Amino acid sequence: LAQLPPGGLLRGTARASVDRQPHALDQTMVVPAAITYIRELAQTTEETRGLGLNPKGIGDILKDLVELTNSLTSALSHLHKENNELGGESVHSKAFHVRDNVIPAMNMVRQSADAIERIIADKNYPMPSYREMLFVK
């Protein structure tokens, strides 16, 4: 092998692609979009009540979105923590750490982000949705 980057192979390559990309996209795009929609739903709920109507359906969506946003921010924190741990001294132990800890943490982030994507309207979602990429021309 030629020269390895400081900190080993995983430290220089996989670490950057594992943590910074999903973490940055979800933290800077998905969470703000969810917060914006939460605010919109909360205002709509109050306005609906002001008209003497029952906003139960809107309230249910709002509750689900708040819970999913909390899950996403928690999963992002967990991913950041797991990715900052080195996982040992050898390349193998680092690889096992990524397999056993980082990838499951990434899956938790993805699960929450995917659920949020299904709630927020396409026009308010900052990235193309799976549905748009697969079915909408």
What pLDDT, on a 0 to 100 scale, did the predictor assign at position 37? 96
**Degrees, nearest 5: CA angle 132-136-137:** 120
Q: What are the sequence ranges of the domains in the chain?
A: 9-17+28-134
Give CA angle at 80 (75, 85), nearest 5°: 125
Q: What is the model's pLDDT at position 21?
A: 59
What's the CATH architecture for 9-17+28-134? Up-down Bundle (1.20)
* Structure confidence at residue 4 (pLDDT): 45
Task: Provide block-wise average pLDDT over 10 residues at a time, the chain (137 residues).
Answer: 48 46 77 95 97 96 98 95 84 91 94 94 84 76
Question: Which pLDDT does position 87 carry in this prediction?
Answer: 76
